[in-house]
Chain A
């Protein structure tokens, strides 16, 4: 039981962190392409996007994987 829990935790952590990093990167690239934002604003914005993305994706993805494992 503990092993399957660990597997769920690892898989979901990879997924939500990856998703959030993807969104953060998308933000960073978009802010570089659109307008002329200072680097600090782009960095700060990227951090905020990462935090909010993590908060949004973490519970959704964790419970998705848990439900998948529990059937």
Chain B
């Protein structure tokens, strides 16, 4: 039977070694061919043979090593049930689905609660089945429920470790006082009985049986399935320290170091520090994925819909396409749609990064989740549920956060093989100090680092096992494992905040390495539609007259140039009356009559044919054409009246974006299918030096390939549809101005807005994220590289100092928390254009918006 693939949400993972544990446990389950875990996203991807293993068994393997597979949960409002047996029928039908792990139908509440794996059974299938049985089912608020559940799970972990800290820390503190009672000022206030070994045993035992028990349980479960994890390091460390303490308490003459080597404080403090580390990690780790939670929080819960002429309030997920939705000032827009009535300004910053509210009038598109500011309006719902822009963005960001960057491979390999390596190292360290090191270097006056406690009469076994335990504890690769995914999560979130969606961690890494950027011309650097750029009057005609008369002639034209002239006149504030008559002359222009005047508007050919004297205007026309513009002559009553130039104009921020990219050291290239002269005109305007002109759409990918063969990392910025092959060929394809339909876009990076400066934002976010990744990896590897030799006693022969297991635990906790905190600094990052360092320069002066009249 064919292999199936499923993605499961896993809870309880705290560090990179958990990844190896789960991958090992699930990978060793018969019937599973591949298991891959993403720590940051908390997701497990499994390829398995359904004829040999089921989801429940896979979930069992995960549970066996101390983690939990969390199915998706949905609450369905079920109507039409008349008795308890209806509920039982529905429950039975739901349970028969292969992906449903639990189904509970409550007749009284009219509610079905289902736990299921969406990769195997879809919600639609379940609803369909319920409908088939003669009932109606509608979904309750899933996004919010999911968010709550995630938050709850994190809170549960924080609470759990917090509670264990309340046990571990006070007891450890008292145990420490008892152990060091003879030192410093302690004899003055620490009662003598606290130093009694039996009292220390009684105080330590609750720490071992309470907070530390999780490590023993989880490591035992892991070992049974043939996997080793961090818990095993902790369990062997804590267990060995505690057992030696017990032996030396009850049988001090057994020869394990005697009554001076009870190590109870090591066992207790080790537990306390490890729990502190886990608590801090749970506290900080959730914050790196705040972006997704913030996006989910945007989903409004309630919508006001007009149905049957009546205004009704209903859950937002029950709005269907074509519903008329009413939005008042200060309310969030529940779903995507088109405004049909009213006027308002909508704050779309949370989705697009656009800081100014966007005006909305009839015919404009509104996005679900955005905030209505000033007026009330009605809109027709076009996209609902999982089709909305917000749902698509959330899904995209989630997928990106779940992906692994190439740079993570090394960290994963290290973290995955570390545990076994550390145990081999611990064994080697023990054997070295037992057979050679102790006899050669041991000094009874030597001390633990940062404590006054002397090692004294510790025997060869006690000393060797102490260093062996320290190696186990100090070597935790948590920081190495967290370094990349935590920064990637923060980076993708930061990008989303500014309307830049990275489709994966690999996209961030590739973006940070870019050396050249190719911009498509039409629709990317330019607006993609012609508009009036120049108006010149002659023979007593003012520019306003020329524009007005040309607009009158073109008012009923369907030609793009005619539409541009008519649009230009309207933008300039002119009221354009209808022509009395109008005739289009294909390939030449138009002839019209207005108030007994004949108007001719067209190219040279038309003017020559009608014997119009245009020589005085020819020089200016050629100059305009040199700039890539299309010049049209206007003649009134057989006399030349002026010139109008129409061209595709560059977008507002194109020049600034190109200049910023050049400052970042990138080579900027323009690619176009147009002729070289037109291309050069636009390239000149935006400041691009290298032009690839007359390239047919299907040859664009070949041009990208050619640049890549020069050894450059190339990005292609295009509209995502026409440029799909080139976007796919490039190292990073950036689809710009996708608006709300992000799921359809080709490309590795999606820029929601039309603003080309977002290319700069994407680069800056990617570079900042990779900087963070590198810093994190540096600190994590530096910690392990430095700490392991110290823990193993490499410097003991010179300094006579050893690191105690509890100090090792503290250092380990500090390393992983340092990495997470360093990642959190990325939250302060702001792209340069948002910091106001660069200000937009209008390209064509006022003509960029409204035609200027010369």
Chain A interface (Cβ < 8 Å from any Cβ of B): 1, 4-5, 12, 27, 30-31, 34-35, 37-41, 44-45, 48-49, 51-53, 55-56, 58-60, 62-63, 66, 70
Contacts of A4 in B (CB 8 A): 30
Q: A49-B430, A56-B420, A70-B30 are in contact. Are A39 and B24 (CB under 8 A)?
A: no
- Taking a contact as CB atoms under 8 Å apart, the answer to whether B426 and A52 are in contact is yes
Most chain B CB within 10 A, of A1, A52, A53, is at: A52
Chain A proximity of B286: nearest CB distance (Å):
31
Q: B212 at interface (Cβ–Cβ under 8 A)?
A: no
Chain B residues with Cβ below 8 Å from A58 are 223, 226, 228
A4 to B464 CA separation, bound complex (whole angstroms): 41
Q: Apart from A40-B461, A58-B223, what are 20 other A-B pairs with CB-CB below 8 Å?
A: A30-B435, A37-B460, A38-B255, A41-B256, A44-B255, A45-B464, A45-B465, A48-B430, A49-B427, A49-B430, A51-B240, A52-B236, A52-B423, A52-B430, A55-B223, A55-B228, A55-B236, A56-B420, A58-B228, A59-B228
Q: Check if B439 sits within 8 Å of A48, measured CB to CB.
A: no
Instruction: Give B400-436 interface residues, CB cut-off 8 Å to A.
Output: 420, 423-424, 426-427, 430-431, 434-435
For this complex, 20 residue pairs linking A to B, each with C-beta atoms less than 8 Å apart, are A1-B30, A5-B30, A31-B435, A34-B435, A39-B255, A40-B256, A40-B459, A40-B461, A41-B256, A44-B255, A48-B461, A49-B431, A52-B468, A56-B420, A59-B227, A59-B228, A63-B24, A63-B28, A66-B226, A70-B30
Shortest beta-carbon distance from A38 to chain B in Å: 5
Most B CB within 10 A of own CB, among A39, A41, A51: A41
**Once the chains bind, are A60 and B435 in contact (CB under 8 Å)?**
no
Chain A residues, CB < 8 A from B240: 48, 51
Chain B interface residues toward A at CB < 8 A: 24, 28, 30, 52, 223, 225-228, 232, 236, 240, 244, 247, 254-256, 420, 423-424, 426-427, 430-431, 434-435, 439, 459-461, 464-465, 468
CB of B267 to closest CB in A, whole Å? 15
Given the complex, which residues of A lie within 8 Å of B430, measured CB to CB?
45, 48-49, 52
- The CA of A40 and the CA of B434, in the complex, are separated in Å by 13
Q: Judging by beta carbons under 8 Å apart, are A41 and B420 in contact?
A: no
Q: Are B52 and A1 in contact (CB under 8 A)?
A: yes
Decide: B28 and A62 in contact? CB cutoff 8 A.
Answer: yes
Provide the bound-state CA to CA distance between A70 and B48, in Å.
Answer: 13
CB contact under 8 A between A44 and B30, given known A38-B459, A62-B226 = no
CA distance A31 to B430 in the complex (A): 13
Q: Does the CB pair B461–A41 fall under 8 Å?
A: yes
CA distance A39 to B461 in the complex (A): 11
Q: Separation in Å of the A57 CB from the closest CB of chain B?
A: 10
Whole-angstrom distance between the alpha carbons of A34 and B461 in the complex?
15
Q: Select from chain A the residue with minimum beta-carbon distance to B239.
A: A51
* Bound-state Cα–Cα, A38 to B438, Å: 14
Q: Which residues of B contact A40 (CB under 8 A)?
A: 254-256, 459, 461
Q: Name B232's closest neighbour in chain A (CB-CB).
A: A55
B426 contact set on A, CB distance < 8 A? 52
Considering the chains assembled together, what is the distance between the CA atoms of A1 and B465 in angstroms? 42
Asked if A44 contacts B435 (CB within 8 A), the reply is no
Distance between A8 CB and nearest chain B CB, rounded to angstroms? 9
State in angstroms the CA–CA spacing of A31 and B460 once bound together: 12
Q: Is the interface of A mostly helix, strand, loop or mixed?
A: helix
**From A30, which residue of chain B is reached at the shortest CB distance?**
B435
How far apart sit A38 and B457, CA to CA, in the bound complex (Å)?
14
* Pick from B228, B254, B460, B465: contact of A48, CB under 8 Å: B465
- Chain B nearest Cβ from A41, distance in angstroms: 4
Once bound together, how far apart are the Cα atoms of A49 and B24, in whole Å? 24
- Given the known interface contacts A30-B435, A35-B435, A59-B24, the answer about A41 and B236 at a Cβ–Cβ threshold of 8 Å is no
In contact, B223 and A31 (Cβ under 8 angstroms): no
Report how far A59 CA is from B219 CA in the complex, Å. 12
Q: Pick the contact of A35 from B236, B420, B439, B459 — CB < 8 Å?
A: B439
- CB pair B460 A41 closer than 8 Å: yes
A59: nearest chain-B partner, CB-CB: B226
Distance in angstroms between the alpha carbons of A56 and B460 in the assembled complex: 23
> Considering the chains assembled together, what is the distance between the CA atoms of A57 and B420 in angstroms?
9
Most chain A C-beta atoms within 10 Å of own C-beta, residue among B226, B255, B431: B226
Docked pose: A35 CA to B436 CA in angstroms? 10
Residue of B with least CB distance to A39: B255
* B423 surroundings in chain A (CB, below 8 A): 52, 55-56
Closest to B223 in A: A58
* Complex Cα gap A15–B108 (Å): 58
Please name all residues of chain B whose beta carbon is closer than 8 Å to the beta carbon of A52 when the two chains form the complex: 236, 423, 426-427, 430, 468
Contact (Cβ within 8 A) A56 B226 = no
C-alpha gap A4/B430 in the complex (Å): 37
Q: How far is the CA of A31 from the CA of B423 in the complex (A)?
A: 21
Task: Please give me the residue from chain B that is nearest to A2 by CB atom.
Answer: B30
Q: Which residues on B sit within 8 Å (CB–CB) of A53? A: 427
In angstroms, Cα B431 to Cα A34, docked, is 12
Chain B residues near A39 (CB-CB < 8 A): 255
Cα distance, A44 to B439, chains bound together (Å): 17
Neighbouring A residues of B461 by C-beta, 8 Å: 40-41, 44-45, 48
Q: Are B28 and A66 in contact (CB under 8 A)?
A: yes
Of A34, A45, A59, which is within 8 A of B420 by CB? A59
Task: For the complex, give the distance between the alpha carbons of A58 and B420 in Å.
Answer: 10
Q: How far is the CB of A71 from chain B (nearest CB, A)?
A: 11
Chain A residues contacting B236 (CB-CB under 8 Å) are 51-52, 55
* Docked-complex contact B424 and A44, CB < 8 angstroms: no
Specify which chain B residues have a CB less than 8 angstroms from the CB of A60 in the assembled complex.
420
